[in-house]
Amino acid sequence: MIRHAAGFLVVALLCSQAGAENPPKLTALQQQQLFQKNRQLIQTLVDGSVEMSNVSNDYTQRSRVYRRMILEFQKELTTAADQNDPNRVVEIGKHLDTVMRQGLAPTLKVARGRLGPDGTGMNDLIDMRDRSVELADWLQNKSRAQWKDNPQVQEVIDSLEKTKKELGGSIAP
């Protein structure tokens, strides 16, 4: 039941983002194609949400779940960049930014507080933070190189810069 509710929540979030831009009416075939394109990402987000609900007080484990979600975003972003699809990069980049800023950064901060500066698992948290920042750097550099004149891409680049600062401060002493 929770899985279905979480799935509905993720789909509703994605639909609300798409609806906010007032896109043209899509045919059933186009909707199916979009769903298939997003299926693996949606599945990863739903599974991650369910897993996090089962480990709600283990912030180190929650950080690992966020990291798996971020790896799925990385796959999708790599494909979009390779296909020279700036609209997809913007769409996925915004969702990635949200997951890193509103999910991973505060979770790392709480996990760090519970572990202490020398606690077991601190190196894993630092690695998760650093790899997420590296992904944001990669996306920013790739986007600047390919779509420097696209204002929507620039908005994602700017937002990721703020997120990197928050991630940097999430584990700082």
| Continuous segment of H or E residues that includes residue 5 | helix 2-19
Whether the CB-CB separation of 81 and 145 falls below 8 Å is answered with no
Q: What is the residue whose two structure tokens read 């897993």? A: 51
CA 32, CA 14: separation in Å to the nearest integer? 14
CA 129, CA 104: separation in Å to the nearest integer? 8
Instruction: Identify the CA nearest to 91 among candidates 76, 70, 71.
Output: 76
| Strand runs labelled E in 35-168 | none
Q: For residue 160, what are the contacts with CB-CB under 8 A and spacing of at least 6?
A: 93, 96, 97, 136, 139, 140
Sign of CA dihedral 76, 12, 157, 112: negative
Predicted confidence pLDDT, tens digits, the chain (173 residues): 454 444 544 555 555 555 455 667 878 988 888 888 889 989 999 999 999 889 888 898 999 999 999 999 999 999 999 999 999 999 999 999 999 999 999 999 999 888 877 778 888 999 999 999 999 999 999 899 989 899 999 999 999 999 999 999 988 76
Count of alpha carbons within 13 Å of 172, Cβ hemisphere only? 7
